[in-house]
Amino acid sequence: MIKTVDAFCRQHGLLCQGETLVIACSGGPDSLALLDVLTQLRSEYDLHLVVCYVHHGIRQAADKEADFVKEEALRRQCRFVRQSADVPALARQRHMSLEAVGRTERYRILRETAVSCGAAAIAVAHHQNDQAETVLLHLLRGSGLTGLSGMAPKNGDIIRPLLAVTRQDIEEYIQVRGLCPQHDETNDLQIFMRNRVRLSLLPELMRYNQSVLNDLNRLSDIVRADDEVLCHMAKVLYDQHVQDTGDGAAIEKKVFLAQPLAMQRRLIRLMFRQVTGYELDISFQHVETIRNLARKPSGKQFCTAAVRAYITYHQLCVAVPRKKTEKVVPQESLAIRGAGEYSFGLYTVTIQLSAAPPAHADSHMFVFDYDQCPADLTLRCRRSGDTIRLHTGCRKSLKKYFNEKKIPVELRGNIPIICSGSAVFWIYGETCSAEAFIQHTTTTYLIGNVSGGNVHA
């Protein structure tokens, strides 16, 4: 078995000369065999081995097991580290299973230990039976290719040298080497899904196919290679077409919809991870909802606790959820009563009266014939029934104007406008109404400049 593991490590580049490794060891058959194998390969690779036992706070027998692992580590001249976590308390706090919290805490502690020891990697004792169980678990949960890929020989700082061998190989090795591993009685309890797969489902499947163990491992290898290619293709597409919007990511709808279905789903997952900042995956149902959103009109959105997906006229956007209290501009009206400086939410409006028109104008400026302005000139955001009279002479609803200009629906409610009643005189970033148009008879100009804010049509 030593030669098999060594060849596997060389094939996948798991061990490097002179590096420090943390070995996760519980004292059971698999991890004890891993410790023994790596100890025998130590001189060939000049390895520095640190053995770590993680006490989950679940079983009293763990104290005895920790002492056993310490003795086995020191007997092989390896440094020993014992770490602890109160998994039952954390499971209650997080409303998660003992199994899930135990796994999360175990890897967190192992990584902290690796950092403190200056270790290059963490060796864990997963073997081919574990791989087959993992593939079956993901299959039962309706996983995609990534789940069916199972466990990689090397995944970041985690290495799995024993993926080259089976549980039977390990049992034979233990017998030949005269090792006396500890037994974790929780491995016999069928309250855990993985235990039921190992103790019941996999043996039952072997009645139909004696080679199911090898076949599931082969499936894992094939799918992992395919998944890596698709992941690379999706990353290339993402880098080419997805834009950073500050609070999220956006892609042109026509570009997104032109992609194959597999790429659409992967792009959404990449956008989700970009926005949330963590690797926790989004559910298939949420992916499909966001994907279908791309075919809907501007203004449609879908929100989860982690992200907000919405549609503009041209883009599919995934962003952080808006806070319910967030207001870019206030909802009340602000009366414009001649020259001065006015505050309107995040905006500042400076108005002056002049006998001459401005030298230049931009979309943040409005210029009215002061003598023609009504007394109730008001600064506010849009309301139902607002209309604007264009320079062509026709009057249309503000909603229709926004539709024609393809202004995103989610921005419309925060765009400042100048109006009199329901008659709109000026739209921030857009245009002036014909009702406020400068005439050749104009003698006094009302000139307004708007600054600040974070909404621009």
Q: Which runs of consecutive H residues, i.e. helices, occur in 182-279?
A: 193-196, 202-208, 212-241, 253-257, 261-276
Tell me, yes or no, whether 314 and 338 share the same domain: no
**Which pLDDT value is given to residue 329?**
59
Between CA 142 and CA 148 the distance in angstroms is 9
Does pLDDT of 454 surpass 60? no
Average pLDDT score over residue span 98-114 = 91
Residue 323 pLDDT: 63
Q: What's the token pair of residue 425?
A: 């005189």
Q: What is the mean pLDDT of the chain?
A: 89
Higher pLDDT, residue 404 or 253: 253
Q: Is residue 327 part of a domain?
A: no
Residues 143 and 10 in one domain: yes
Q: Could you tell me which of 316, 324, 221, 323 has the C-alpha nearest to residue 272? A: 316
- Is residue 114 domain-shared with residue 208, that is, in the same domain? yes
Q: Bridge partners of 331?
A: none
Q: Verify that 403 and 267 share a domain, yes or no.
A: no
Question: Is residue 10 domain-shared with residue 151, that is, in the same domain?
Answer: yes
Give the residue from 274, 296, 319 where a domain finishes. Answer: 319
pLDDT band of residue 407 (cuts 50, 70, 90) is: confident
Residue 397 CB neighbours (<10 A): 15
Q: What is the rounded average pLDDT of the residues 197-209?
A: 94
Q: Greater confidence, 186 or 395?
A: 395
Same domain, 73 and 190: yes
Contact 179, 172 (CB under 8 A): no
Do 31 and 135 lie in one domain? The reply is yes
Contact of 216 with 132, CB cutoff 8 Å: yes
One domain for residues 315 and 419: no
Q: Is residue 110 part of a domain?
A: yes
State pLDDT tens for residues 44-84.
999 999 999 999 988 888 889 999 999 999 999 999 999 99
Q: Confirm whether 125 is domain-assigned.
A: yes
Residue 455 has pLDDT above 60, yes or no: no
Q: How confident is the model at residue 402 (pLDDT cuts 50, 70, 90)?
A: confident
Model confidence band, residue 282 (pLDDT cutoffs 50, 70, 90): confident
Is residue 64, in this structure, part of any structural domain at all? Answer: yes
Question: Is the predicted pLDDT of residue 328 greater than 70, yes or no?
Answer: no
| Contacts of 344 by beta carbon, 8 Å cutoff, 6+ apart | 329, 330, 334, 379, 416
Q: Are residues 22 and 145 in the same domain?
A: yes
In percent, the amount of the chain with pLDDT more than 70 equals 95
Task: Answer yes or no: is 130 within a domain.
Answer: yes
User: Do the domain assignments include residue 423?
Assistant: yes
What is the pLDDT at residue 456? Answer: 47
How far is C-alpha 170 from the chain's CA centre? 38
Strand order in the sheet with 48-55: 79-84, 48-55, 20-24, 121-123, 158-159, 154-155
Q: What does the chain come to in residues?
A: 457
Could you tell me if residue 236 is inside a domain? no
Same domain, 312 and 345: no
Specify if 30 maps to a domain: yes
Task: Answer yes or no: do 135 and 267 share one domain.
Answer: no
Q: Is 30 exposed, middle or buried (0-12, 13-18, 19+ CB in 10 A)?
A: buried
For residue 295, the enclosing domain spans 244-319
How many domains would you assign to the chain?
Answer: 3
